[in-house]
Structure 1
Amino acid sequence: FWVGCCGNGTTPPGQKTGGAERMRADRAMPTFRTPLKSCHATMPNMLNVHLVPHTHDDVGWLKTVDQYYYGDRNDIQHAGVQYILDSVVDQLLKNPDRRFIYVETAFFFRWWKQTAPVLVSFSGRLEFVNGGWCMSDEATTHYSAVIDQMTMGLRFLNETFGPCGRPRVAWHIDPFGHAREHASMFAQVAAELLRFHLRPRLKSELSLQIPVHARILPNGYNPPDGFCWDQSCDDPPIRDDPDLEDYNVDDVVNRFLMIASGQSLVYKTNHIIMTMGSDFQYENANLWYKNLDKLIHYVNARQANGSKVNVQMRLDDFFPYADNAHNFWTGYFTSRPALKRYERLSNSYLQTCNQLEVLGGPFSGSGPFGHDDSWTMRRAMAVAQHHDAVSGTEKQHVANDYARRLADGWQHCQVVVSNSLAALSGSSAKRIYCDNLNISVCPLTESSHKFSVNVYNPLARPVTWPVRLPVNGTAYTVLDANGKPVDSQVGLKNRGSAANELLFQVQAPPLGFSTYSVSLQRRGPPPASTRPRTPPAIQNKFLRATFDPDTGLLSSLSNLETKQTIRLTQNFYWYNASDGNSSVSNQPSGAYIFRPNSSTPFVISRTAKTESLQTSVVQEVRQWFSPWVSQVVRLYADSRALELEWTVGPLPVDDDLGKEVITRLDTSIDSSGIFYTDSNGREVLQRKKDFRPTWDLEQTEPIAGNYYPINSRAYIKDDVNQLTVVTDRSQGGGSIQNGSLEIMLHRRLLYDDVRGVGEPLNETSDVFPEGLVARGRLLLTLDRPQSAADTHRPLAQEVVLQPLLTFTSGDLHPNTRLEFSGLQDALPPAVHLLTLSQWGEDSVLLRLEHQYQSGESKQHTQPVTVNLLTKKKTKQNKKNSTALSGNLPRRFTAQNRKRAPFVGPEQTEALRVCGGFWQMVQR
């Protein structure tokens, strides 16, 4: 039995490396003088117990990011990250045998800028694991945003510490379930080992012998019982003076040996791990290390008496997640729907900001609208990926802080966007941003007689997009970039302060913009464009949706191209949230946990009051189910998807009942208890009711236990039909009945679920004192199963990366460039431009992705060749293929994947992409 602490292997000599942008540290990193062996020797004939001193520092949860770093508001929670790092470094300097691992680069970056200690004397003792800006959530995050935040953290570590700072372990110990796509991403950023922990219920169902370099921690990420020595712990210290009455060395060693032996029974090898730390611990690192040093010494001393224990410091997913028979962590899939939508929109805006920062050149950072860059938005989005951020499991004031940071990022990026569009269009006219179009508010369009709309498309293929603008006129002329009239309609609005709504379709080129001119032609009374009745159907050349004339509800959906028709009924329901007063369990629903009182939800209304709008641009059926639930069923002229725009809230709680609102689609599809969801917006996984693929499930919560995260789409299918629902944010959902798909839209709860947040999920504000109102869109497609991905894959990308609208008032200058594309040609349909961003003053980061899974499309699953060179070659045009995070050459990832995600030579003018990512840094 050998006890010790372990770092990340042999530490090579470090070197100074230049930083980039604002991520450059304020002080240069000194050169490491000599290689040090950071791992203690292990004993092949003994049980090697690796103690891992660590702290888990949430990037916001009960306190904001700033409050956690500075140690403010300790009345909420005693935690100060700057003091933890100060204390740990001090203790590492005092003893070369001590080790520590650290995760959250967002905090370390801030501390390093302010402190930058001389680390020469203890290289190898401080190990960075995971390396992302935060420890991201795995259920409600989109893979593109996760890659971005991992890139930020790993880049800082690489440019500050060189090879010595390279994380080799993906340390994901606190997210509430684990996604397959996250494991894939970790492998592609060159992590060699994934460590995570499972809540007790899942752990009891599984063997701890997990394949593919994954490891499960037996105590969560906490120390074994009785071995916590932080200032917040109550466990007694090791008292090793034999003259003292309270001498306890023998007792401590015996208990440790018993725990280690028991833990070894569920591991295949003679190496086990014990985490020594927890949330925000090590603020007084001396307490921990003084006792750990004694523990190591006295346990290993038993080897002289024959002990065989050696102590030292050192492909499906896991959803849904439970820590007890009735405690499923599936509520947070939907918690805080407005924040989840804002985060998704912010991701789209960040990608646009990054792209225009490249396309606009040096002018984008400094121009007529000021000096700025995308750094503020990148940091805000990276923090928002934290497992207590976009997940919705933070306190209300912390959620407000996340939103404030995102809003601040928008303001900075608007300067970049304005400068770039000015450079690309040749016009320095002031650009207006209508950030409240989601609630039909835009002062410019409501008051101007003439204005222009610039539509920037961040996708690498052309898109058609509907534009809806609040106006007070009754007739407008809309001209495209070529001066040709565009079909437009003015209709009576049903929300916002403006009288009417102008609607027209725009087309934008790949990675570029198109500009539309709008002129007022007539004012007057609002047009009588709606009819107070339910039409028998709305249809275009692709789809037909019928309605029941008696109820006003959807009754069927047809694909007119393939001649498919299914019965489709859609309605709204609410589950009565458990208050914990039950003979079965005292667990209430809360921010984390979804636990309905009954398996049968309450229908909000069996009928809907309706009115219809039918024009050449769009056909709508507006439905009202109650004062707090309404919907618009919408079909655009050229769309292959039926849009359901729902508005839910404020949820009434005068009856003292918490409510969890769902929409349910009941169809004639024979789904056999199976449905499909995406994993972080990328790959699609099969889900089966009351079933887990890796263990025998005894279902105890028939609703909550069958909910899964839906990040961008879900579908049900049989041999003939596939109904796909594309979402505009992360939501929870399930298929509880055959042929049915339900999606949770909104939650308002009156009790805390006792998982630490300490307050109920009951969102109110000055704007919504009676409760939060949430609005969103679901897009429905009907296809043959063999070709459905050809529709829902690009559709989901359009929703994630939607066009950005900017406005200018009055006439444009005659020399203004009205259309622009950053590509010579659109990328093939199978290839997605994931990232185009500035990497340094003379380099850019480019990520391409094959967006189809193996076998899901006859047309688009095949490998694709993409030409990456322009016709004009220059000696300065160099390409370096890297790992997914950009911090390492690509060769580092080959050993971590059973199948290479890329094929084809790296040095040729063309790249062959097949089933994965490809990335380069181009100078």
Structure 2
Amino acid sequence: MERRWLSELLVVLLLGAVGNLKEAEGCGEQSCPQAPDGFLNVHLIPHTHNDVGWLKTVDQYYYGARNDIQHAGVQYILDSVVSQLLRDPNKRFIYAESAFFWRWWKQQDEQMKRDVTRLVEEGRLEFINGGWSMNDEAATHYSSIIDQMTLGLQFLKSTFGDCGRPRVAWHIDPFGHSKEQALLFAQMGYDGFFFGRLDYQDKANREKTKQMEMLWRASDDIPPPYADLFTGVLPNGYNPPDGFCWDQLCDDVPLIDDPSIEDYNADVIVKKFLKAATQQAEKYLSDHIVMTMGSDFQYENAILWFKNMDRLIKNVNMQQINGSKVNVFYSTPSCYLQSLHRANVTWPVKTDDFFPYADGPHMFWTGYFTSRPAFKGYERLSNNFLQVCNQMEALSGVEARNGPYGQSNSTVMRRAMGVAQHHDAVTGTAKQPVNNDYTLRLSQGWDSCQVVISNSLSSLTGIKENFAFCNLLNISVCHVTETANNFKVFLYNPLGRSITWNVRLPVNGHAYKVIGPNDETIPSEVVDVSDFTKELRLYQGRAERELIFQGQIPAMGFSSFTVGKLSLPDRFVFKSKKGKKQPDKIQNQYYRVDFDPETGLMSGIHNLEKNISLPLTQSFYWYNASIGNEESSQPSGAYIFRPNNSSPLPVSQHSRSYLVQNSLVQEVYQNFSSWCSQVVRLYKDQRYVELEWTVGPIPIGDGCGKEVISLIDTKLQTGGVFYTDSNGRQIMQRRRDSRETWKLNQTEPVAGNYYPVNSRIYIKDKYTQLSVLTDRSQGGSSIRDGSLELMVHRRLLYDDNRGVGEPLLENGFFGEGIVVRGRHLLLLDHVEEAADAHRTLALQQYMSPQVVLSYGDGIPYSQEGTPLRKFSALRSELPHNAHLLTFAMHSPDKILLRLEHPFQSQESKNSSQPITINLNTLFSSVFLSDFEETTLAANLEKSRLKRLAWRTKTGSALQMDTPRSPVLDPSNVTLSPMEIRTFLATIRYRDKTALHGR
């Protein structure tokens, strides 16, 4: 006993000498433990990973309901962890998901809030990442990523001040990692980024070459170090090392260090830990390593974890008396990052991304790029609607939030969209009831924003109308236009430039007169609703025809149109007839599309303006989903894409086609089967070809799961290279059967070449580029030279054994498979000129005009002058290479404004030039002043931003002590390619009499 007492005394003295722990002096770097030199320092990171919905809904996870599905209760985790932290000043914990913490915080009393604030200020409860959710990186659009991160980070700032600002990004569970995500994190001011999942071959190579940590150079356009982000791969995903999980959900034995107990095992566990630490250190460059001590929904009974980790720390460090050079302590990712920075190591540099992700030879997680395509489409539309809602709320202020249609604001939609970005939401990898809950939340957000938009429109127009939002126009359903002889159409354009928009409204009349905002007659046409659409909408609408007209809409503003049914004698009524069967071409001023009269398929596309022609075929095919074979038992599922053959099967070798043609539009309706159809469309003055596809219910009566693609074949010599976007912004070059930073052993020639496509995919040769723009996230590839394919829908019969526990077998009406309708835009251009049109169209795809209807029987909302029929919030349009990314309320008197240069530096001779904007004179309807530039998430003044410098193998360390423009001149704001600049400004509203011209 005397020897044991002396040993413990020596340990205490040793720990004091090396300074393993010190009393917290505040948050940030000063709160970190001082790790001793000459030791292998093991940073234990107590953490929990809380999915914002997956097997259970958000509410069920928070409250701990439905534990028969999964035992998880977030409120109990936070209760238990905080209790343990308050009891012992040596303990630390990190938390990531603001959506859950916000809920918990609202339910605490003032004393608990003070206690938690103290923990945060002492750096012992550290917020990491901090977004509303831990967003996916493949199926998310950059606009939605920025919004959801801003929502979470601003909650933390308003609640805890500077100590609540996360310094490290933490994406431990998303299934692959994008270059654009890293760029966004860098622009948000993070010092580092840690993640858990990467391709198994990539990981093996990195472990062998000690490249598990690196500097990610996340942009080719923004100069170092502003787009650089230190990035580390966690050693065990986000789990603890084998044998060291001490949660109530785990089965590992506790550490017993009382020698009088028969089951004493401290010696065995310490030996095992020292071996694990030593083996891990062999794969990393510095004398610091990290161990994630926690996992999914762990720490509901935090004392189990902390008591065992206390004993582990004590017993491992006691071995230092015997010459051990392993030192272990409680830490956080930001403290670990500080230690790596002080280690003064030279780090490798990465410039590509981490897609696709595979966790085994036949296990590519590329199916979720397309899974639940209807929800992916709804999520993208919801982002579009949120941007309109944000803008109109900001333009009308209190009148938008508290107007004639009731009280509301954009917050409900912002939170719903924040949840939808979660890596099991927009990905389509949650259970069906959970996906239904995500959809419900978005629907509630739409309801709330409809009130905001109605209030704002009344305020801006001066008329209180009975506004209606017809959200099923894509299947020709709208009660107002179907039943009214006269109605109004309001088109709001959220872009910073004016546009012409093609309006299609379901009607039952034969002819209509459309009057524009300047009392001009707008040309219009009436066409029959297709049989495809009638079958798809079922009982939801009864319109026989569609009214088509083109509306001009000013920048960041609206135009209103009056529509009236014409009563004509029968002999003057145009009898809409289908054109010839199997048409051979359609053509407008800019494009011609040829069709094979024998098969009905597209056979060529011509850009008449540029004098470019390209023979091609386009049709629909399907891959037979694997259920496992002799090579691997892995089936296709919600996450995994695994076809059982590299050659897809045609839905049909022919399409039955007919032509609809008038002065505004030419359309070829193609019917491939009872469950697959398409409209090839050219509007007047339109510089692209529209392909509106409708797929479903995918038949499974033959016992085969099916993964349906739209496939384009050309003779372009592409050399195995194709291009996809990264979250809708940067363009990534992809090379078939190859990875940029390691030698690939390709085991799945189709799935292993699929990549996420958020906005566009293209192929090119030396002169010609063929591009397809999407309206939602999808998986895509070029499996053969000259080909492009996009997966549009999938319906599967087996679970892929990644946890969701059910096949991807979505049902629609009457228990049949869901039907999905979407759009692809097809463009043909010279290589050096392609980016101009493509960037512009990509922005318009996700920032489309919002259509609002009314019966036209409104009454004056106020007496302040003439009602407005046309309005722009801008004094003049933005330059074509400037984009108004965000205009939203930040606080009652503050506006959040983001301006973006959407082009990359080398892609356009004209558009890839810096641009300068005068913020003082940008807006016409509001006055902005007191501009302050911030980081991308608006949670830190740009003038206060400092980030860590890193020495790399490509050059010396670069320090970012001050921003590039330390003094802001709002009259002279310059944007360079790929740059987003974020501002907060005080807002004042113009007098209504000035707005309405009185």
Common fold by TM > 0.5 = yes
| 2:345 aligned residue | none
The question of whether the paired residues in 1 share the 8 Å contact of 2:80 and 2:301 is answered with yes
TM-superposed CA distance for 1:907, in Å, is: 2.6
The question of whether the paired residues in 1 share the 8 Å contact of 2:528 and 2:576 is answered with yes
Partners of 2:970 and 2:712 in 1: CA distance:
50
The question of whether the paired residues in 2 share the 8 Å contact of 1:7 and 1:99 is answered with no
2:603 is aligned with 1:555: yes
The question of whether the paired residues in 2 share the 8 Å contact of 1:547 and 1:555 is answered with yes
Cα 1:124–1:760 change in 2 (3 A) is same
Instruction: Give 1:610-625 correspondences, 5 Å limit.
Output: 610-625=657-672
2:818 is aligned with 1:772: yes
TM-superposed CA distance for 1:438, in Å, is: 1.7
Per-residue CA deviations over 1:433-454 (Å, capped at 9, x if unaligned) read 1111121100110110000100
Instruction: Give 1:493-504 correspondences, 5 Å limit.
Output: 493-494=529-530, 495-496=533-534, 497-504=542-549
Per-residue CA deviations over 1:519-561 (Å, capped at 9, x if unaligned) read 0003768833322412221111111111111111111111111
Cα 1:856–1:659 change in 2 (3 A) is same
The question of whether the paired residues in 1 share the 8 Å contact of 2:514 and 2:561 is answered with yes
Cα 1:902–1:507 change in 2 (3 A) is farther
Cα 1:284–1:6 change in 2 (3 A) is farther
Partners of 2:19 and 2:486 in 1: CA distance:
69
TM-superposed CA distance for 1:229, in Å, is: 0.3
TM-superposed CA distance for 1:720, in Å, is: 1.0
Counterpart selection for 2:422 from 369, 386, 395: 386
2:244 is aligned with 1:227: yes
Counterpart selection for 2:116 from 114, 119, 141: 119
The question of whether the paired residues in 2 share the 8 Å contact of 1:61 and 1:757 is answered with yes
| 1:210 aligned residue | 213
Partners of 2:650 and 2:161 in 1: CA distance:
59
Q: CA RMSD in A?
A: 2.2
The question of whether the paired residues in 2 share the 8 Å contact of 1:227 and 1:235 is answered with yes
The question of whether the paired residues in 2 share the 8 Å contact of 1:55 and 1:279 is answered with yes
Per-residue CA deviations over 1:272-312 (Å, capped at 9, x if unaligned) read 00000000000000000000000000001111111001111
Partners of 2:681 and 2:664 in 1: CA distance:
11
Instruction: Give 1:154-169 correspondences, 5 Å limit.
Output: 154-169=153-168
2:93 is aligned with 1:100: yes
Counterpart selection for 1:436 from 453, 462, 472: 472
SS at match of 1:206: helix
Partners of 2:75 and 2:651 in 1: CA distance:
50
| 2:981 aligned residue | 918
Counterpart selection for 2:830 from 778, 784, 793: 784
| 2:725 aligned residue | 678
2:650 is aligned with 1:603: yes
Instruction: Give 1:130-209 correspondences, 5 Å limit.
Output: 130-199=129-198, 200-207=200-207, 208-209=211-212
Per-residue CA deviations over 1:783-839 (Å, capped at 9, x if unaligned) read 111110100001011110110011110356694210000000111111110000001
Return the TM-score normalized by structure 2: 0.88
SS at match of 1:135: coil
2:562 is aligned with 1:517: yes
Partners of 2:314 and 2:245 in 1: CA distance:
17
TM-superposed CA distance for 1:502, in Å, is: 0.7
Partner amino acid, structure 2, of 1:399: N
Instruction: Give 1:396-475 correspondences, 5 Å limit.
Output: 396-475=432-511
The question of whether the paired residues in 1 share the 8 Å contact of 2:469 and 2:853 is answered with yes
Cα 1:872–1:61 change in 2 (3 A) is closer
Partners of 2:519 and 2:48 in 1: CA distance:
61
| 1:21 aligned residue | none
Instruction: Give 1:886-897 correspondences, 5 Å limit.
Output: 886-893=938-945, 895=947
TM-superposed CA distance for 1:891, in Å, is: 3.5
| 2:764 aligned residue | 717
The question of whether the paired residues in 1 share the 8 Å contact of 2:490 and 2:851 is answered with yes
Partners of 1:658 and 1:69 in 2: CA distance:
35
TM-superposed CA distance for 1:205, in Å, is: 3.4
The question of whether the paired residues in 2 share the 8 Å contact of 1:63 and 1:395 is answered with yes
Structure 1: state its 5+ residue gaps. 14-34
| 1:31 aligned residue | none
| 1:860 aligned residue | 911
| 1:26 aligned residue | none
SS at match of 2:583: coil
The question of whether the paired residues in 1 share the 8 Å contact of 2:515 and 2:563 is answered with yes
SS at match of 1:342: helix
TM-superposed CA distance for 1:903, in Å, is: 6.0
Counterpart selection for 2:552 from 486, 490, 507: 507
The question of whether the paired residues in 1 share the 8 Å contact of 2:77 and 2:298 is answered with yes
Partners of 1:432 and 1:866 in 2: CA distance:
36
Instruction: Give 1:16-95 correspondences, 5 Å limit.
Output: 37-95=30-88
Cα 1:258–1:892 change in 2 (3 A) is farther
TM-superposed CA distance for 1:875, in Å, is: 11
Partners of 1:382 and 1:121 in 2: CA distance:
28
Instruction: Give 1:565-584 correspondences, 5 Å limit.
Output: 565-580=613-628, 582-584=629-631
The question of whether the paired residues in 2 share the 8 Å contact of 1:5 and 1:50 is answered with no
TM-superposed CA distance for 1:909, in Å, is: 1.5
Partners of 1:256 and 1:530 in 2: CA distance:
76
The question of whether the paired residues in 2 share the 8 Å contact of 1:905 and 1:911 is answered with no
The question of whether the paired residues in 2 share the 8 Å contact of 1:902 and 1:913 is answered with no
Per-residue CA deviations over 1:864-902 (Å, capped at 9, x if unaligned) read 010100399999820110000000011455646979997
Partners of 2:19 and 2:789 in 1: CA distance:
49
| 2:377 aligned residue | 341
Instruction: Give 1:643-654 correspondences, 5 Å limit.
Output: 643-654=690-701
The question of whether the paired residues in 2 share the 8 Å contact of 1:541 and 1:638 is answered with yes
2:856 is aligned with 1:810: yes
Percent identity reads 54
Range moving further from structure 2, 716-725 or 891-900 = 891-900
Partners of 2:762 and 2:410 in 1: CA distance:
36
Counterpart selection for 2:296 from 267, 279, 285: 279
Partners of 2:640 and 2:552 in 1: CA distance:
43
The question of whether the paired residues in 2 share the 8 Å contact of 1:846 and 1:921 is answered with yes
Instruction: Give 1:179-328 correspondences, 5 Å limit.
Output: 179-199=178-198, 200-207=200-207, 208-212=211-215, 213-314=230-331, 315-328=351-364
SS at match of 1:715: strand
SS at match of 1:218: coil
SS at match of 2:660: strand
Partners of 1:366 and 1:486 in 2: CA distance:
35
| 1:27 aligned residue | none
Partners of 1:436 and 1:819 in 2: CA distance:
25
Partner amino acid, structure 1, of 2:116: L
Cα 1:885–1:506 change in 2 (3 A) is same
Partners of 1:294 and 1:242 in 2: CA distance:
13
Cα 1:232–1:209 change in 2 (3 A) is closer
Instruction: Give 1:838-849 correspondences, 5 Å limit.
Output: 838-849=889-900
Partners of 1:412 and 1:6 in 2: CA distance:
52
Partner amino acid, structure 1, of 2:601: L
Per-residue CA deviations over 1:44-75 (Å, capped at 9, x if unaligned) read 11100000000000000000000000000001
Structure 2: state its 5+ residue gaps. 1-10, 216-229, 332-350, 535-541, 861-865, 950-957, 987-998
Cα 1:872–1:735 change in 2 (3 A) is closer
Cα 1:441–1:8 change in 2 (3 A) is farther
SS at match of 1:869: helix
Partner amino acid, structure 2, of 1:210: E
Return the TM-score normalized by structure 1: 0.95
Cα 1:127–1:509 change in 2 (3 A) is same
SS at match of 1:466: strand
The question of whether the paired residues in 2 share the 8 Å contact of 1:664 and 1:743 is answered with yes
Cα 1:799–1:887 change in 2 (3 A) is same
Per-residue CA deviations over 1:146-190 (Å, capped at 9, x if unaligned) read 000000111011111111111011001000000000011111111
The question of whether the paired residues in 1 share the 8 Å contact of 2:920 and 2:928 is answered with no
